[in-house]
A and B are shown apart, each in its own frame.
Chain A
Amino acid sequence: MGYKITKKENLSAIDFFMEVEAPHVARSWKPGQFVVLIVDEKGERVPMSVYYAEDGKIGMFIRRHGVTTFKLWYEKQVGDELLSVAGPLGKPIEVKYYGNVVFASDAVCAQAESYATLKAMKEAGNYTIAIQSFENKDNVYPEKFLAKPVADEHYLTTDDGSVGIKGHYLDVLKELIEKDKVDIVFAGGKLGSLKKLAELTRPYGIPTIVTVRQIMVDGTGMCGSCRILYDGQIKFACRDGPMFDAHKVDWDDVIKRDARFVEQQNLARERYLQKLREKGVI
């Protein structure tokens, strides 16, 4: 049994879009939930956010990070199959009327979640604000993949100002908060930014719900790999999350645990790149 790739498109210098047939996931997926996929027989289980789920297919945004995501980019084309797609996993976001809802994103998973979440929030009658941050203009996605269609207000920023506003979502958000325009913030992406975000909104008491990305294996609460310290207690990001109240997360520990396998990942990445070079793929 395989899961067929139905679409694939480059998004930027680092990210790409992929659509896969996974009717069992698509039928029940809700914003906030994720999937775990395996590329091939030798592959590892990697969690991925979902950009949309419709007609038995799911769309994903993927960053070319290391072996798994390189394999997806270099080896898997439209028509090929993935070994496994499990899900949906994790708890959905509570979609209801909050007022002015912000989704702030500065990395691949969150760019996918931005669209999915705000779409649902808009349908629930909220005023939706997207702030999508990228490092520079080479990393910015084509317009059709941004959250613009589902955002009442849309801000695009780049760190170097090469496109859109110069700066980061934190800068834009600060202004919006000062203008008293924010009832709740959803966010995801770089862990370092999420830590800063928690400190930004805390003094204002603005509810801040973010994706806590942790290294996962099963994604169902079976292994404990994704454990975090939350409000002084151990929680599993896959089962109890992945969205948590940013103000209760111990961010220093989350950031440390994210680097657990860096040595192994670098070794594997170098080996894989060497193989691609030998084959003349790159």
Chain B
Amino acid sequence: MVRKRPKLIKERVPTPERPVEERVKSFVEVNLGYDFASAVKEAERCLQCPVEYAPCIKGCPVHINIPGFIGKLVEHRDDPNKAVKEALRVIWGDNTLPAVTGRVCPQEEQCEMNCVMGKVGDPINIGKLERFVADYARKHSIEDELLAEMRPSVCGKGKVAVVGAGPAGLTCAGELAKLGYDVTIYEALHKPGGVLIYGIPEFRLPKEILDKEIAKLRELGVEIKLDHVVGKTVTLEELLEEYDAVFIGTGAGTPKLLNIPGILLDRIYSANEFLTRVNLMKAYKFPEYDEPIAVGKKTIVIGAGNTAMDAARSALRLGSEVTIAYRRGREDMTARIEEIQHAEEEGVKFEFFLNPVEFIGDENGRVKAVKFEKMKPLEERDKKGKRKIVGTGEYVTLEADTVIIAIGLEPNRIISEEATGLKVNPDGTLVVDENLMTSIPGVFAGGDAIRGEATVILAMGDGKRAAKAICDYIEKKRKANA
């Protein structure tokens, strides 16, 4: 087939968003996504770079065949169901949670940053196209058709336990199930999803969508045991007795807190406590739901990552004025651009170069202000390429009756404390080899548990790689025993 040279259309086809006035009052999703016609229009802008060198694929941590799936939308434009089914088949080859990644990946730093169209105009809106394919497929039961095709023909190739139902664990479980393994997930909380269920708010990732994604796994035969804390309810050793291999995807769920005076004051939350109350326990519906949350009129959020944006926008929706205070400059914020933009549009204020040194309380033990030292940037850069900062000796105090600390997370040590043979780095991450195997044979790990705070797609990539390694490991063991 001779390909027609596409005409360069420099501007993106926009996706509609819920108006600001409406969205700041509710937790419903902000971005509304494409419909089929506009998705095809955006897909047509893609130059269809050859797969071997397509820069977008190189930028994607799991190397989704991006031109491949985008091309299907254009190729079958006269038959939407077929277009989406073929596109989804391509995506699922590399990523089984496109409805999630299409919403939460930092595309502007990955696929879209590399897209050649970005050199002449807007890069292709890859994230929103991915999301469109997943959403359309879900609404039209196309996923079910594909799942039926994918269900393994041979089962019982081995038994694998997966610890943690976050993106890493879910992906690993799904891949292994497709390959014919019996998989059981052990999850500490009462709902699966990891950060996707307890951290990321509904206005970015509706829970309904996540539930559907997880239902797919159950379709593939994966069993999920909730309320099971590995290291407490069952030990790693017990799992190894029962299963041929174990995958640890326990994430990085322990909040770092500031060790400064006043940290125990009332209404100073870690972002995890705040977001878990709001998202997982639906405290925004209190008292219809039982979980309480207390938010005052002025909230200060400390930090500048996705967690900080999520906390800030949630506090705003609970009726507070919100300021994000960050010790570095605007260009160093680590949150996704879309989230920063949304936060700004919704009225979150930003203060830069402020480092908290003390929380000041009132006579009832409740926070009333935060004292900050003003910082200034130096020319010198740190390992991560960020400009170093130093204190100026000048201080400011900002009023706040609620504070949310979002300065980072580290791995939970419940398993490593109990399983003494498991090697751990000083920062709490698990030590793994190039096959993602830990220091205990047959125990693999991935996601934030080995990387510290990272991203959903990296966690999924690890889950997938580990699934392959687990397969090889079990096969080898079987052959050795035969």
Quick check: A260 and B294 within 8 Å, CB to CB?
Answer: yes
How far is the CB of A64 from the nearest CB of chain B, in Å? 15
Contact of B277 among A84, A217, A265 (CB under 8 A): A217
Which residues of B are found within 8 Å of A89, using beta-carbon distances?
229, 232
**Residue ranges of B at the interface with A (Cβ–Cβ < 8 Å):** 188-190, 198, 225-229, 232-235, 253-255, 257, 259, 263-264, 266-267, 269-270, 272-273, 276-277, 281-282, 286-294, 365, 412-414
Which residues of B are found within 8 Å of A260, using beta-carbon distances?
266-267, 294
Q: Which residue of A lies closest to B291 (CB)?
A: A44
**Residue ranges of A at the interface with B (Cβ–Cβ < 8 Å):** 1, 24-25, 28, 33, 38-39, 42-45, 67-68, 83-89, 217-218, 220-225, 227-229, 234, 239, 250, 253, 256-257, 259-261, 263-265, 267-268, 271
Q: A234-B257, A234-B263 are in contact. Are A268 and B273 (CB under 8 A)?
A: no
Which residues of A are found within 8 Å of B189, using beta-carbon distances?
86, 218
Q: How far is the CA of A68 from the CA of B286 in the complex (A)?
A: 13
Quick check: A84 and B264 within 8 Å, CB to CB?
Answer: no
Q: How far is the CA of A227 from the CA of B257 in the complex (A)?
A: 10
Which of A85, A89, A217, A256 neighbours the largest number of chain B CB atoms within 10 Å of its CB?
A217
Known contacts A24-B227, A44-B290, A261-B292; 6 additional CB pairs below 8 A are A24-B233, A87-B227, A88-B233, A222-B254, A222-B255, A223-B272
How far is the CB of B405 from the nearest CB of chain A, in Å? 8
Q: How far is the CA of A126 from the CA of B45 in the complex (A)?
A: 79
Q: How far is the CA of A217 from the CA of B257 in the complex (A)?
A: 17
Contact of A220 among B235, B269, B291, B414 (CB under 8 A): B414
How far is the CB of B362 from the nearest CB of chain A, in Å? 12
Q: How far is the CA of A86 from the CA of B263 in the complex (A)?
A: 29
Contact of A223 among B225, B234, B273, B286 (CB under 8 A): B273
Q: A220-B414, A224-B255 are in contact. Are A84 and B226 (CB under 8 A)?
A: yes
Quick check: A224 and B273 within 8 Å, CB to CB?
Answer: yes
Quick check: B414 and A265 within 8 Å, CB to CB?
Answer: no
Q: How far is the CA of A234 from the CA of B254 in the complex (A)?
A: 13
How far is the CB of A201 from the nearest CB of chain B, in Å? 24
Contact of A224 among B270, B282, B414 (CB under 8 A): B270
How far is the CB of B132 from the nearest CB of chain A, in Å? 31
Quick check: B266 and A257 within 8 Å, CB to CB?
Answer: yes
Which residues of A are found within 8 Å of B229, using beta-carbon distances?
86-87, 89, 220
Which of B259, B270, B273 neighbours the largest number of chain A CB atoms within 10 Å of its CB?
B273
Quick check: A268 and B227 within 8 Å, CB to CB?
Answer: no
Which residues of A are found within 8 Å of B255, using beta-carbon distances?
222-224
How far is the CB of B144 from the nearest CB of chain A, in Å? 24
Quick check: A217 and B292 within 8 Å, CB to CB?
Answer: no
Q: Which residue of B lies closest to A28 (CB)?
A: B233
Q: List 14 A-B contacts (CB under 8 A).
A: A24-B228, A24-B233, A44-B281, A86-B227, A88-B232, A88-B233, A217-B276, A220-B414, A221-B413, A222-B276, A227-B257, A260-B294, A261-B292, A268-B286
Contact of B288 among A42, A250, A261, A265 (CB under 8 A): A42
Contact of B290 among A43, A257, A259 (CB under 8 A): A43
Quick check: A85 and B227 within 8 Å, CB to CB?
Answer: yes
Quick check: A42 and B289 within 8 Å, CB to CB?
Answer: yes
How far is the CB of A144 from the nearest CB of chain B, in Å? 30
Which of A83, A221, A253 neighbours the largest number of chain B CB atoms within 10 Å of its CB?
A221
Q: How far is the CA of A229 from the CA of B289 in the complex (A)?
A: 30
Q: Which residue of A lies closest to B188 (CB)?
A: A220
Which residues of B are found within 8 Å of A25, using beta-carbon distances?
233
Contact of B292 among A222, A259, A264 (CB under 8 A): A264
Which residues of A are found within 8 Å of B227, using beta-carbon distances?
24, 84-87
Q: A67-B290, A86-B189 are in contact. Are A221 and B412 (CB under 8 A)?
A: yes
Kindly list the 6 A-B residue pairs having the minimum CB-CB distance in the complex, ordered from nearest.
A264-B292, A224-B270, A86-B227, A84-B190, A223-B273, A222-B253
Q: How far is the CA of A89 from the CA of B232 in the complex (A)?
A: 7
Quick check: A224 and B264 within 8 Å, CB to CB?
Answer: no
How far is the CB of A146 from the nearest CB of chain B, in Å? 29
How far is the CB of A76 from the nearest CB of chain B, in Å? 14
Which residues of B are found within 8 Å of A267, using beta-carbon distances?
287
How far is the CB of A260 from the nearest CB of chain B, in Å? 5
Quick check: B233 and A1 within 8 Å, CB to CB?
Answer: no
Which of B263, B292, B365 neighbours the largest number of chain A CB atoms within 10 Å of its CB?
B292
Which of B232, B263, B266, B293 neighbours the largest number of chain A CB atoms within 10 Å of its CB?
B232
Q: A222-B272, A223-B273, A271-B287 are in contact. Are A87 and B257 (CB under 8 A)?
A: no
How far is the CB of A5 from the nearest CB of chain B, in Å? 16
Q: How far is the CA of A28 from the CA of B292 in the complex (A)?
A: 31
Quick check: A87 and B233 within 8 Å, CB to CB?
Answer: yes
